[in-house]
């Protein structure tokens, strides 16, 4: 028994070279990613961060992300994990767009987002494989910036060790 997971990341939609927007190139790459995913026929698709290149993507980039993620969602369920360039608010808006502005819920929504690193907000989900002989489990941990924890540190010399310990706690919070 095997489960098939297709991984993609770091699209950095909105990235420019000087004043030159790379929309044509980006569209071609997204089409290629979607074609490869369709050929691979995965049970789950995971985008592991940095959908966008900035915390304030343009409307064109939001549309481009929504269309690409919807197309991937037609192939298999999709989990998008927030990267260091992604913001909770932008991904929440994208989630709203992909749920047809809140009119679709639950199993109808094929794209889910992991944006919350608090133990009670982690995206932990199960996805049955196509033959349903196996269940894939995912525990998605979004990017955690060290500044999110520094307000609790009493000793600046212990910041790295304390941060590492907190990340470990978040990672082992759910036992399988």
By annotation, the residues acting in catalysis are 85
Give residue for tokens 């260091």.
Answer: 84
> What is d(CA 1, CA 121) in angstroms, rounded to the nearest whole number?
31
Q: Is the dihedral of CA 148, 163, 9, 23 positive or negative?
A: positive
> What is d(CA 127, CA 106) in angstroms, rounded to the nearest whole number?
13
Other beta carbons within 10 Å of 61:
23
CA dihedral 141, 109, 98, 40 (to 10 degrees): 70
């Amino acid at each position: 028994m095997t489960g098939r997971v297709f991984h993609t990341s770091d699209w950095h939609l909105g990235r420019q070279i000087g004043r030159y927007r790379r929309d044509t190139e980006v569209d071609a790459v997204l089409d290629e990613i979607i074609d490869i995913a369709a050929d691979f026929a995965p049970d789950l698709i995971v985008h592991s961060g940095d959908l966008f290149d900035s915390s304030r993507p343009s409307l064109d980039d939001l549309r481009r992300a929504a269309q690409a993620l919807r197309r991937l969602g037609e192939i298999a369920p999709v989990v998008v994990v927030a990267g260091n360039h992604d913001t909770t608010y932008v991904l929440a808006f994208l989630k709203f767009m992909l749920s047809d502005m809140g009119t679709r819920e639950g199993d109808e929504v094929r794209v889910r987002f992991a944006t919350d690193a608090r133990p009670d907000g982690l995206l932990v989900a199960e996805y049955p494989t196509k033959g349903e002989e196996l269940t894939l489990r995912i525990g998605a941990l979004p990017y955690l910036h060290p500044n999110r924890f520094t307000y609790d540190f009493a000793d600046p010399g212990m910041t790295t060790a304390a941060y590492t310990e907190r990340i470990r706690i978040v990672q082992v919070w759910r036992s399988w």
